[in-house]
Structure 1
Amino acid sequence: MKNWVALLGLIFLMLFSFQIQAQSSEEEVKAVIEQLFDGMRAKDGQQVGAVFLENAPMQTVIAGENGSKVDSNSVADFVARISQTPEDVQLDERILDYQIQVDGDMAAAWTPYEFYVNGNFSHCGVNSFQLVRTEEGWKIVYIIDTRRKEGC
C-alpha cells in the first residue's frame, strides 16, 4: 500500500512540475510578444528586431471581394519603418487576449488586437505568431495577421 501511495505521489509531482514548466514557457512567449509591441510604441527598431529570427516572414491577409490575398514583408523592412516613424506619430497595438500553446521548443500564439495611431482607432484583427526557443531565448519565426476596420 505504501508503494502505491509513493508512486501516486511521484506521478502527481511530475504532472505538477510539467504544468509549472508549461506556464513558465507561456509567460516567456507572452513577454516576447509584449517586447515587440513595447518596441513599436517606443519606435525602437533594435528592440523590435531582437524578438525575431533573422529571416522570419511577416504576412498580412488582405480580404477582397473574390477571396483574400496575402501580402508579405521582411523583418528588416518592418524594423526600418518602425525606426523611421515620425516623432509626432504614436503607434499602439493593444493585445486583447493571449491564447498560447507550447510544445517543447515550439509555441503558437493567437492574439486578437486593436491598433491605434495617435490615440485614434485604425484597425483590428488577429495576429498568429509561431515561435521557437533558441539559445538566445524565444524568437518569432513567423507572423501573419488580419486587418479590418469593422466587426471588431
Structure 2
Amino acid sequence: MKLKKSLLITLCITLFTIVSVQAQTNEEEVKKVIATLFEGMKNKDQSLVQKVFHPDAMMHTTIATENGATLGSNSVKDFINRIATTPANTVLDERILDYQIKIDGAMASAWTPYEFYVNDNFSHCGVNSFSLIKTPEGWKITYVIDTRNKEGCI
C-alpha cells in the first residue's frame, strides 16, 4: 500500500512538472512573438512585423472621449506600411513594462502595459491586449487593442 501511494505521489509530481514546464515554454513563446513585433517596429523591419501576425488579424485602439471611448480601427497592412515609411532618423520604441499571459491550449491572451517613445522622447503610455493562436508555424497575433494616455502612466 505504501509503495502504491509513493508511486502515485511521484506520478502526480512528474505530471505537474511536465505541465508546468510546457506552460512556461508557451508563455515564453508568446512573449517572444510580442517582443519580435516591437523589435520589428523599432527597426522598421516589415518582414519581422508581418511574420508575427495571423493573415486575418485585426487591430483597434480606444480613443478616449468625454462620454467614454470610441473605437479606432487599423489594418495590419496599414500598420506595417506606416512603420516602413517612418523616416530613417525616427526611432519608434514601445517599451513593454510587464507581461500577463493566460493560455488555454492553442489560445493565448496577453496584457502588456507599455510606454512609447519617439527618438527617446516620451510620447504616450497605455496597455496592449493581444489575442494569439498557436498555428503549425507557431504563435500568431490575431487581435490587438490598445489604450493611449499622455498622463497617468503606470
Native 8 Å contact 1:102 1:108 kept in 2: yes
Which amino acid letter does the alignment assign opposite residue 120 of structure 1? N
Native 8 Å contact 1:55 1:74 kept in 2: no
Native 8 Å contact 1:108 1:131 kept in 2: yes
Native 8 Å contact 1:127 1:143 kept in 2: yes
| 1:67 positional shift | 1.4
Which amino acid letter does the alignment assign opposite residue 98 of structure 2? D
User: CA offsets, 1:82-137, max 9 Å, x none?
Assistant: 11111011100000001111111111000000000011000000000000000100
Aligned-pair Cα RMSD in Å: 0.6
Instruction: Write out aligned runs for 1:3-152 (5 A).
Output: 3-152=4-153
Q: Quick one: distance in 1 between partners of 2:63 and 2:95?
A: 20
Q: Quick one: distance in 2 between partners of 1:88 and 1:25?
A: 36
Which amino acid letter does the alignment assign opposite residue 35 of structure 1? T
| 1:55 positional shift | 2.0
| 1:66 positional shift | 1.2
Percent identity between the two aligned chains:
59
Q: If each structure's strand is expressed as a fraction of its own residues, which one has the higher value?
A: 2
Q: Quick one: distance in 2 between partners of 1:57 and 1:34?
A: 18
Q: Quick one: distance in 1 between partners of 2:63 and 2:117?
A: 19
Native 8 Å contact 1:61 1:145 kept in 2: yes
TM-score (norm 2): 0.97
Deviation above 6 Å: which 4+ runs of structure 1? Answer: none
Which amino acid letter does the alignment assign opposite residue 9 of structure 2? L
Runs of 5+ in structure 1 lacking a partner? none
Q: Quick one: distance in 2 between partners of 1:132 and 1:125?
A: 23
Q: Quick one: distance in 2 between partners of 1:44 and 1:84?
A: 11
Equivalent pairs counted in the alignment come to 152
Q: Quick one: distance in 2 between partners of 1:126 and 1:67?
A: 17
Q: Quick one: distance in 2 between partners of 1:120 and 1:8?
A: 55
Which amino acid letter does the alignment assign opposite residue 71 of structure 2? V
